[in-house]
Amino acid sequence: MEISTVFEEHFGKAPALLVKAPGRVNLLGEHVDYNDGPVLPAAIDRAVSLAAVPTPEEVITLYAKDFEEEVTFNLQSLEYKCDIHKQPLPKWAFYPAGVAWSLKKAGLDVSGLQATYDSDIPIGAGLSSSAAVEVAFATAWSASGGWDGDKMKLARLCQQAENGYVGVASGLMDQFASFHGIEDHALYFDTRSLVWEALPLPPATSLVIADTGIRRNLADSGYNERRTACEQAVRILQKHLPEIQSLRDVSPVELAAFGEFLPVPIRQRAEHVVREIARVETAVSALRRSDKRTFGALMFAGHASLRDLYEVSCPELDILVEIAHHLPGCLGARMTGAGFGGCTVNLVEESETPGFIKSLSTEYRAKVGHSPQVYPCKASGGARFEIVNRG
């Protein structure tokens, strides 16, 4: 059912505004965005769809079709994280409420809103369904408020919502990709300088997502622990490399020289980050010369590092990558997202994609006992809105 129809059935009137905000898949550069490193995501053709009507009251009424739940809260009491009946907000409402909180803190005009939204991005699968929700609502408030919606500024405010309101210490990559996606392109994004560049994906290839069906709650997982380990590594290395500000500033040679001063788990986390940053830079060169084999090899190497050094994989993700490695047409495969479950992303020769999808599903089921969700996706454009009814 179209989201505009859902809105009309729920609120008894037509929406004034329609928004789409895509999820993202990260091709390389995992767990480096909060270390000031460069990343290579792509927005995908799965998205959050939102329909809304701005209202003069400072009240937000949301209907989440995915959960079939409604909540109403006041813009003047966002910091309490409660609804108008002083009951705790449901967890799904933290994301739009957090965006409203962040926008208001930045001095932007946030109107009352009646809104409904749903998503075809699998929740908790490492494809940034939460960031897409944040970006959809930031786009809606930008459009309804008529204020300048600078995409990078809005991405950073959405990140602040996730960090300060939801409580997940995420980097900027997810929100950036959802706002800035370009069809058929990966996005090289330097999370320190905020400089970015669109790079064409290798010709005659497909991106294939394989979902293990395993879910981990990001805030309750080891994500924040990994971030803390990286910060500890920097503090220790600064005794020997006083000029560094983050692991972005540490070269592989320097880490080899001074890594002995790091406790074993922290050294492993730092080694992943430093080498993953180097892989991204090599991958950019590969994309510029359409070298799909080098790019795919870097994906496999990235997964091994995430599995062995950063320890954020899981058996099901490893099995998917192992199967993919020997299938015809597979150029590269790796887990994508924070890990602990979720999805792999596979770079596959276009001509071999149907057979790859079938074989990956069959072999995974034989090994694990249930079928994964496996589907091709395309790199897509970023968040967009349409005014459909000016009232």
Cβ neighbors of 162 (< 8 A, separation 6 or more) are: 95, 98, 130, 131, 134, 168, 170, 175
Instruction: Give 64-115 pLDDT, tens digit per residue.
Output: 999 999 999 999 999 999 999 999 999 999 999 999 999 999 999 999 999 9
What is the rounded average pLDDT for all residues in the chain? 94
Q: Looking at the predicted structure, is the pLDDT value of residue 373 above 70?
A: yes
SS3 174: helix
**What are the Cα distances from residue 3, in Å, to 61, 172, 340?**
16, 28, 32
Cβ neighbors of 306 (< 8 A, separation 6 or more) are: 30, 31, 272, 312, 313, 334, 335, 339
Instruction: Give 240-286 pLDDT, tens digit per residue.
Output: 999 999 999 999 999 999 999 999 999 999 999 999 999 999 999 99
Instruction: Give 339-370 pLDDT, tens digit per residue.
Output: 888 999 999 999 999 999 999 999 999 999 99
- Find where tokens 């071999």 sit: 352
Percentage of the residues of the chain whose pLDDT score is greater than 90 = 86
Using CB atoms within 10 A of its CB, is residue 79 exposed (0-12), middle (13-18) or buried (19+)? exposed
Element containing residue 18 per DSSP (H, E): strand 17-28
Give the residue among 119, 96, 61, 113 at the shortest CA–CA distance from 166.
96
Kindly state the average pLDDT of the residues 200-220: 84
DSSP-assigned states of every residue in 53-113: EEESSSEEEEEETTTTEEEEEEGGGGGGTB-TTSPBPPGGGHHHHHHHHHHHHTT----EE
Tokens of 351: 């001509």
Cβ atoms of 331 and 313 within 8 Å: the answer is: no
Tokens of 325: 């490695």
Q: Looking at the predicted structure, is the pLDDT value of residue 24 above 90?
A: yes
Kindly state the average pLDDT of the residues 160-166: 95
In whole angstroms, give the CA distance from residue 118 to residue 64.
6
In whole angstroms, give the CA distance from residue 368 to residue 373.
13
Instruction: Give 282-313 pLDDT, tens digit per residue.
Output: 999 999 999 999 999 999 999 999 999 999 99
Angle formed by the axes of helices 292-308 and 264-288, to 10°?
170
Strands 59-64 and 112-119: parallel
Using CB atoms within 10 A of its CB, is residue 326 exposed (0-12), middle (13-18) or buried (19+)? exposed
Instruction: Indicate which residue of 33, 36, 118, 174 is catalytic.
Output: 174
- Find where tokens 């009507």 sit: 53
What confidence category does residue 391 fall into, taking pLDDT thresholds of 50, 70 and 90? Answer: low
All domains in the chain, ordered by first residue:
3-199+380-387 (3.30.230.10), 201-227+267-377 (3.30.70.890)
Tokens of 234: 């920097």
**What are the Cα distances from residue 360, in Å, to 27, 141, 328, 349, 351?**
19, 42, 11, 14, 15
Cβ neighbors of 193 (< 8 A, separation 6 or more) are: none
Paired residues of 81 in beta bridges: none
What confidence category does residue 128 fall into, taking pLDDT thresholds of 50, 70 and 90? Answer: confident
Neighbours of 367 (CB within 10 A): 13
Listed range (123-137, 211-225, 318-332) with the worst mean pLDDT? 211-225
In whole angstroms, give the CA distance from residue 262 to residue 255.
10
What confidence category does residue 337 fall into, taking pLDDT thresholds of 50, 70 and 90? Answer: confident
Judge whether 45 counts as a catalytic residue.
no
Q: Looking at the predicted structure, is the pLDDT value of residue 219 above 50?
A: no
Q: Looking at the predicted structure, is the pLDDT value of residue 3 above 80?
A: yes
Q: Looking at the predicted structure, is the pLDDT value of residue 218 above 60?
A: no
Q: pTM of the predicted model, to two decimals?
A: 0.91
Q: Looking at the predicted structure, is the pLDDT value of residue 202 above 80?
A: yes
> What is the SS3 string spanning 280-346?
HHHHHHHHHCCCHHHHHHHHHHHHHHHHHCCCCCCHHHHHHHHHHHHCCCEEEEEEECCCCCCEEEE
